[in-house]
Structure 1
Amino acid sequence: MNNWDDLRYFLAVARDGSLTRAAQTLGVNHSTVSRRITAFEDKLGARLFDRSVSGFVVTQAGQEMMQTTERVEKEITLLDRQILSRDMTMTGPLRIATPAALIATFLMADIASFATQNPDVEINILSSDALINLHNHEADVAIRSTATPPENLIGRRLTPVAKAVYASSKYLEHHKCNARTIRDHPEHRWVCSSREGTNPSWLTKYFPSARTGCQVDTLLALIQAVKHGIGIGELHCRFGDTDPDLHRLYPFKTKLDTDFWILYHPDLHHTARVRAFTSHIAEAFARERHLYAGEVSTDML
């Protein structure tokens, strides 16, 4: 009666509540989603959504359709994973979910070396700070920073992740101080994540009069804001200690509060390319563990 693409478009709009967000989820443009939903409703002879200025709301008919469609989605996802789990060859697609900041800095080189060694693996990178749902087969493997990896996924701990407080050369020059004398200048700006509800303890203790210079919503934006001198900020040591334009500040202690993990669904445990990629990335992180853990020599600071 209906093809799966129609149902995918329907589910995206039902879950996201807007054409724009559904288009982003599906990787198509706004007009395509609108056209597909209208055609689907015409084909069914039923209205699946009520349209309003605030978005799309599922009708009673749409709710019934959604319940059935979600069951179909689960069955298709299960079938996909079962097929993939029996694939013992180093060929085919491999979808990798990872934070955008890792891809933009260090991780791409490691993925490139894996691709060179395995030219028949088709790599698809999903770079986002949002958590990808591995149970819904949105990705095959995910690299993420977490203190509590999900128990229902297979995980491999890659390295501890340390954080410290940094300022750029431009920022220190403007304030006529260095990494060790910055506390002599109490008036400072800081860069923070919009997801943080309260000021960090180091800011309250050492810079109680500091004001917010910039709020950002991604790790990559945080790095760039500090690097360009908008303010001081707390960064992963892997980013801060290896950038010549960034300086770790004193007397702030290095903080170990989470780990990098590589995760995948148990159904993919015997898939050759998933296992090979996991081992490849684990070896790459192990070589640079001291950088991720903030274990640099004092000569570098």
Structure 2
Amino acid sequence: MDWDKLRIFHAVAEAGSFTHAGETLNLSQSAVSRQISSLEESLGVTLFHRHARGLLLTEQGELLHKTARDIFGQLSMIEGQLLDSKQLPEGPLRITVAEFIGSTWLAPNLGRFREQYPDIQLTILLDDRILNLGMREADAAIRLYKPEQPDLIQRQLTTLNFRICASSSYLKKHGTPKDIKDLQSHTLIGFPENVPAPYADPNWLFRIAGVDPEDYNKIIMMNSLYAIQRAVESDAGIASLPDYMIRQNPDLQIILPEAERAGVDMYFVYPEERRHSRRIAILRDFLVENIQKTGK
């Protein structure tokens, strides 16, 4: 099998179109299409169904795509290990992190990281899904779930504690809840059902308030804790937020302080085979140092 054609097939299967794959490969759409047709002819099978709205893998195409993904994932891992052998802290580093952690905690600290390590090319993927580190979807991760895979190294960074809060303007207008049952007369903000959640039990506020999201009309759903924070700041309602996010705005007030959910542990995670990566170790130590200095 022609290696270059396999590389192009993998790009097309990932992108779902000749045009987008061509942009990634720096090839014209027609050149990509010709290479795929040539690969199909040499194999004697059809790999894609062509539709006006894009490409759909055939059964044979799915089989080849799975194999190609495994191959290129392993090659990417080897590339990372080769880069890890360098002594200087330089080169690409790709990290996946829950959206709100990346937006409200990690991003504000990147200036200092860049000053210390200007040759590390950092890419941050804000994603509440659990990406596959073994297949090199990222080099490392900040997770709010305890990793269960035995081939992952984990370092607990801190524990996030959550409180119920609202803006002072909202409370002045709608009154301050005196007990849990009072929450049922307020607008509550939480996560939609059936979407990737950054941590377990994100809607514990609904649960303790005795509210069913399907039957309660005073409710706002957002799949972003950062957006929930901004909504609370704009007097939209009451939500549960981590302590550090509440402290970022002195206008936010903690209500019902006796109502407290279990803390959410935050971990820095990376594959066992990357244990000698200088870049991963540098980022891990930077995060630990930042938490020790700031307490968050």
Name the TM-score, length of structure 1 as normaliser. Answer: 0.77
Q: How does 1:97-116 map to 2 (within 5 A)?
A: 97-116=96-115
CA distance in 2, matches of 1:181, 1:88: 58
Residue 259 of structure 1, CA deviation: 0.7
CA distance in 2, matches of 1:182, 1:66: 52
CA distance in 1, matches of 2:140, 2:216: 40
Residue 194 of structure 1, CA deviation: 0.8
Match of 2:238 in 1: 232
Moved more, 3-12 or 243-252: 3-12
Shift of the 194–214 alpha-carbon distance from structure 1 to 2, 3 Å rule, reads: same
Query: Can you give the 5+ residue segments of structure 2 that lack an aligned partner in the other structure?
Result: 196-200
Q: How does 1:130-169 map to 2 (within 5 A)?
A: 130-148=129-147, 150-169=149-168
Which consecutive aligned stretches of 4+ in structure 1 deviate over 4 angstroms post-superposition?
Answer: 32-37, 51-56, 179-186, 196-202, 204-210
CA distance in 2, matches of 1:196, 1:62: 30
CA distance in 1, matches of 2:33, 2:147: 43
CA distance in 1, matches of 2:203, 2:283: 36
Amino acid in the other structure paired with 2:94: R
Residue 262 of structure 1, CA deviation: 0.8
Shift of the 199–163 alpha-carbon distance from structure 1 to 2, 3 Å rule, reads: closer
Q: Secondary structure at the match of 1:280?
A: helix
Residue 280 of structure 1, CA deviation: 0.9
Residue 224 of structure 1, CA deviation: 2.1
Match of 2:169 in 1: 170
Q: Among residues 216, 222, 242, which one is paired with 1:216 in the alignment?
A: 222
Match of 1:246 in 2: 252
Residue 130 of structure 1, CA deviation: 2.4
1:164-214 deviations in Å (ceiling 9; x for gaps): 211123321321x24658965752111110137999555455465964421
Amino acid in the other structure paired with 1:43: S
Amino acid in the other structure paired with 2:141: A
Shift of the 232–207 alpha-carbon distance from structure 1 to 2, 3 Å rule, reads: farther
Judge conservation of contact 1:158–1:286 (CA < 8 Å) in 2.
no
Q: How does 1:191-210 map to 2 (within 5 A)?
A: 191-195=189-193, 200=203, 202-206=205-209, 208=211
Match of 1:273 in 2: 279
Judge conservation of contact 2:190–2:228 (CA < 8 Å) in 1.
yes
Shift of the 183–66 alpha-carbon distance from structure 1 to 2, 3 Å rule, reads: closer
CA distance in 2, matches of 1:91, 1:251: 46
CA distance in 1, matches of 2:284, 2:63: 40
Q: Secondary structure at the match of 2:185?
A: coil
Q: Among residues 265, 268, 272, which one is paired with 1:259 in the alignment?
A: 265
Moved more, 255-264 or 4-13: 4-13
Match of 1:189 in 2: 187
1:122-144 deviations in Å (ceiling 9; x for gaps): 22222222222211222222112
Amino acid in the other structure paired with 2:8: D
Q: Among residues 12, 15, 20, which one is paired with 2:14 in the alignment?
A: 12
Do structure 1's residue 81 and structure 2's residue 80 form an aligned pair?
yes
Amino acid in the other structure paired with 1:7: F
CA distance in 2, matches of 1:35, 1:56: 15
CA distance in 2, matches of 1:288, 1:74: 37
Aligned length in residues: 280
Judge conservation of contact 1:180–1:251 (CA < 8 Å) in 2.
no
Residue 250 of structure 1, CA deviation: 0.9
Judge conservation of contact 1:132–1:139 (CA < 8 Å) in 2.
yes
Residue 56 of structure 1, CA deviation: 4.7
Name the TM-score, length of structure 2 as normaliser. Answer: 0.78
Moved more, 151-160 or 183-192: 183-192
Judge conservation of contact 1:85–1:270 (CA < 8 Å) in 2.
yes
Residue 163 of structure 1, CA deviation: 1.2
CA distance in 2, matches of 1:170, 1:5: 57
Match of 1:119 in 2: 118
